[in-house]
Amino acid sequence: MKSLPDVDMVLFGGTGDLAMRKLLPALYQQVKTGTLSTASRILAAARKPLDRAGFLALAEATCRPFLGDAFDAETWAAFAERVHYFPMDAVQAESYGPLAEALGQHPERVRVFYYSTSPDFFAAMSANLGAAGLITTQSRVVVEKPLGHDLHSSREINDAVGQHFTERQIFRIDHYLGKEPVQNLLALRFGNVLFEPLWRREWVQDVQITVAEQLGVEGRGDFYEGTGALRDMLQNHLLQLLCIVAMEPPTSSDPDAVRDEKLKVLRSLKPFRPQDVATKTVRGQYKAGAVASQPVIGYAEEAGVAPDSRTETFVAVKAEIDTWRWAGVPFFLRSGKRMPEKLAEIVVNFRPVPHPIFGEAHHTNRANRLIIRMQPDESMRLYLEAKQPGDAMALHPVNLNLDFAESFKARRLEAYERLLLDAMRGKLTLFVRRDEQEAAWRWVEPILDSWAANEDRPKFYTAGSWGPAASSALLSRDGLAWNEED
């Protein structure tokens, strides 16, 4: 992989969960592969009163399990040489002195400020960086979701950050766009002629996008209470995946060519009227059950959660796209915590054959399916019907592996690793533009409003199940079923 120019990467929230689980391990991998130059620096900033050695000890102990086999002492030592730590309160302008001094040693370098903190601090951090004169033309800021909790608050944050950084300097990260199979889907759609003619209402029956997790709220009850699955997962990750599936071919891979097309999809989503929310959305909350054969408590019993909480840990939505290409094709989106397995996949169900000639016994509504799987494994499979060997004309589903993992032996990059590299290189294609994000909020707001106005609690589902029964009913109203029920 091509080495990068020297970079100063500033991680605000440097001792936080995301930094430890994803960002530092991603930067470690860049040291291991030689992508991050020796002179590049990782400047971690957080409130914990640690010195450099203390931070490195914490980082090594915390990151190591996430690095698995990739960890080796020699690479860690090379990584540690690049790491510096700044104990500071990023909302206090007067605490920027040491960081400013360090950055001032290399004013010409690309600077990436990664805001891995609560969005409540984004405005103050941007203002403080601006006031300290640290935002050069070569600077970028990476902002993590959730960017606000509705359209209004997301605009406020975007305005505040936008006072100090131009739109082309703002990298709104959605790590689902960094996942290898998602980019492979782009390659499949726009690097081949075979799929595009089939990629439309005439041939596609429905699309299902699932992001299921076995995990619960993992001690983040306080945060999750004010968030819920719709804001945490659907407004961003699932809608971005929907855009990748549904967008028109962009004229090039330039950031704005791609983002213009995604924006068009978001703007074409059929708006929800209040009466649609009851029939086209489902919200659920897990109650005690078992996941992976282990008993788990219900959401309402988790620390930091109100016993009568109305926060949804599961959401399913029927989305419709009002365009010539997609009119009448339902896109079912669902995401939930405490599901039976960790599964993230996009299923494109093609229409059944118009006239079965091999007899009713071999007729299926699901002759052809494309399944793009992001978790637990990364794969892309096209399901076809083929003849079973033998004297009878019996059909059996087979799948073509379109992922070519065997053909390409190269190591796959983890989503954060790729996106950090893109941010360092200034490549915005896989980052979300402000208007896209606002269009996504605009579309989910009627759901949020309607749920807030409705006194009912979400429908309960047993931890370890695929969500409330209403989730299956959402598809059966169209004569369809989720992939695992089919």
Residue 109 or residue 175: which is nearer to ligand BG6 going by CB?
175
Residue 194 or residue 215: which is nearer to ligand BG6 going by CB?
215
Residue 134 or residue 241: which is nearer to ligand BG6 going by CB?
241
Distance CA 49, CA 55 (A): 9
Q: How many residues bind ligand BG6 (CB under 6 A)?
A: 5
Tell me which of 80, 344, 419, 439 binds ligand BG6, using CB under 6 A: 344
Residue 272 or residue 416: which is nearer to ligand BG6 going by CB?
416
Distance CA 247, CA 439 (A): 15
Return the residues of window 204-223 that contact ligand BG6 according to CB under 6 A. 213
Strand partners, 268: none
Residue 225 or residue 276: which is nearer to ligand BG6 going by CB?
225
CB of 218 to ligand BG6, least distance (A): 8
Q: Which amino acid is at 29?
A: Q
DSSP string covering 257-310, please?
HHHHHHHHHHHHBPPPPHHHHHHHEEEEEEESEEETTEEE--GGGSTT--TT--
Asked if residue 279 lies in contact with residue 470, where contact means CB atoms within 8 angstroms, the answer is: no
Cis ω for the linkage preceding 446 (within 30 of 0): no
∠ at Cα 299 (297, 304), nearest 5°? 105
CB of 224 to ligand BG6, least distance (A): 8
Q: Which of 84, 164, 175, 237 is catalytic?
A: 237
Tell me which of 8, 232, 320, 345 binds ligand BG6, using CB under 6 A: 232
Residue 201 burial (10 A CB sphere; 0-12, 13-18, 19+)? middle
CB of 452 to ligand BG6, least distance (A): 21
Taking residue 459's Cβ as centre, other Cβ atoms within 10 Å add up to 16
Distance CA 295, CA 426 (A): 46
Distance CA 165, CA 112 (A): 12
Query: What would the x/- binding string for ligand BG6 be over residues 364 to 393, using CB under 6 A?
Result: -----------x------------------
CB of 336 to ligand BG6, least distance (A): 11
**Buried b vs exposed e over 260-282: b needs ≥16 C-beta within 10 Å?**
bbbbbbbebbeebeeebbeebbb
Asked if residue 14 lies in contact with residue 47, where contact means CB atoms within 8 angstroms, the answer is: no
Residue 196 or residue 218: which is nearer to ligand BG6 going by CB?
218
CB of 152 to ligand BG6, least distance (A): 21
Return the residues of window 117-156 that contact ligand BG6 according to CB under 6 A. none
Residue 344 or residue 367: which is nearer to ligand BG6 going by CB?
344
H/E stretch holding 435: helix 434-453
CB of 144 to ligand BG6, least distance (A): 8
Q: Which amino acid is at 307?
A: P
CB of 285 to ligand BG6, least distance (A): 15
CB of 367 to ligand BG6, least distance (A): 30
Cis ω for the linkage preceding 146 (within 30 of 0): yes
The helix/strand/coil state of 485 is: helix
- Closest to 383 in 3D by CA, of 394, 396, 374, 370: 370
CB of 180 to ligand BG6, least distance (A): 12
Q: Which amino acid is at 203?
A: W
Residues 6+ apart with CB under 8 A from 83: 41, 42, 44, 52, 55, 56, 59
Return the residues of window 275-294 that contact ligand BG6 according to CB under 6 A. none
Strand partners, 295: 290
Residue 56 or residue 211: which is nearer to ligand BG6 going by CB?
211
Read off φ and ψ for residue 114, nearest 5 degrees. -100, 115
Tell me the residue nearest to ligand BG6 as measured from the CB: 232
Residue 346 engages ligand BG6 in binding (rule: CB under 6 A): no
Active site (annotated) includes residue 175: no
Residue 22 or residue 433: which is nearer to ligand BG6 going by CB?
22
Return the residues of window 151-180 that contact ligand BG6 according to CB under 6 A. 175
Contact residues: ligand BG6, CB under 6 A: 175, 213, 232, 344, 375
Q: Which residues are catalytic?
A: 237
